[in-house]
Structure 1
Amino acid sequence: MLKTRVITALFLLAGLLGAVFFLPALGWLAFVSIVCALAAAEWGGMVGFSAGPRRAYAALLGLLCLACGMVAGLHRDDTVAPFGLVPLYGASALFWIACVPFWLRKRWVMPGNRTAALVGLVLLVPPSLAMAHLRLPSPWLLLGVMAAVWMADIAAYFTGRAFGKRKLAPNISPGKSWEGAYGALVGVVIYGLICIGSVGHGLLDGPRGPIAVLALAVFTAVSIIGDLFESMLKRQAGIKDSGTLLPGHGGILDRIDSLTSTLPLAGLVALWLAR
């Protein structure tokens, strides 16, 4: 199993880096739209859609992502700040910050297919567009944001294994601890401050420093919330993985759960800095 996971991870990393650095803007937008469609197919299966509606839903979300991206100008390399994405990013941020924490606390069950379809749209389309958006200034910006999420996962895992005693959400994800969450926070803040400081432009001067720390803390919290949300839905559905597309890793949703919650926030920050 470990060998399979490592091989799959290497192929995923090589494919991601190749697409990020070498595809033109339109090609990258098409790529993330396909990822959105594949993730939507997994989402449909997880919330109980039958085969026909599941395929139709996946195609719809993939095409919607592509269409929204082209309207916002994400298919052009000269697009600087696609402010038309603000409503989508805002809806996503509102969902993750104002809705999901209560959902997790009450452990609500998805009430029906219409709600599941709407939640899937908010869950998948904004982060897919954010992937296309954040690559436009520089591929390194997108990779840097994604690396912050990976840093949170890695720091939480090792800190939790070493010091974890108090369960974070025992009824949702028994392996996660408060100590792991604190480790993720410290890891992301240190990583983020190093990255921001290396960029320069006075982004940490004066009151901007504490604001940056607060933003990184919120980013970490939302990353954990995204992970917990998918864990809860998988537990309610009685499945271990969202799919089988990635040998040793499960499905696409299993790999992007924290990215779905954090990428739109990063998109909002990028647009705020570009205003």
Structure 2
Amino acid sequence: MRKRNSGLLLALPALAGFLVFYFVPFLITGWYSVSFGIGKREFVGMANFQDLFENEMFLLAVKNTLRYMIVTVPVTLFGAIVLSILLQNTVRGVRFFQLSFLYPMILPIASVVLGVQFLWGESGIWNKVMELLGGEAKDWLNSSAAFWVLCILYCWRFTGYYVLIYFARLQMIPKEYYEYAMLFGAGKFQSFRHITWPMLIPTFLFTIVLSVMNAFKCYREAFLLGGNYPDDSIYLLQHFMNNNFQNLNYQKISAAAVSIVAALLLAAGVVYVLYLIMRRGKKYG
């Protein structure tokens, strides 16, 4: 009983911080999402949500954000797995590669965006090359190509970070497992399928969460590339939230925030149910 009480006391500051800075504000946001008015608010039910889902800019922001995550998350994670396996088989220069993978995370985002503008800006290197080859210069950052520039920027920044996570997990797999598999004639693909991948699954699930979180943090890059109102291809949820906050449209922001949290909780619940089904199938299969 004493250990249980001491554990609760140790966790109390974190719990208090969560209640004060996250849970209570979210309850206030929930009330704002179903009410309208300044000062004395009036309950309006789902009217704010109806207006939200009829808003073209919100639908555009949702579409672009989902598209961005569908492209960047799988490419980054699977690329990181391949690079971490190659790094594990590298005999020399491992320390150099480990440090170099962190450089994109260390560089200030403003300087990175300046480099992007130097490459793909209206007067950037890529347009100079196009003109030399007889092509026409294009404002890449104010066209649909800006979406792919933003995807490249995300993959470049975060792939190395996930490589180090996977590499650390690979180093924890006992070498005896692979030696034992080789004695029974298992090749590299079979070893990966039956040893490496099952060991990586918990880490892979963890990096999926990290990758989705980092994808939601891409507003800085998109803002520095295109401002508050960039090309439609990179108009993301953060743009929608920030622009409506500047317009003091709190009910629309609140409805959007509650909708996003509900969607994330639903997705997490579906993934958890599928995990339980797979786990039960392995247990009784």
The two structures have a TM-score, normalised by structure 2, of 0.31
Structure number with higher relative contact order (C-alpha < 8 Å, ≥ 6 residues apart): 2
The two structures have a TM-score, normalised by structure 1, of 0.32
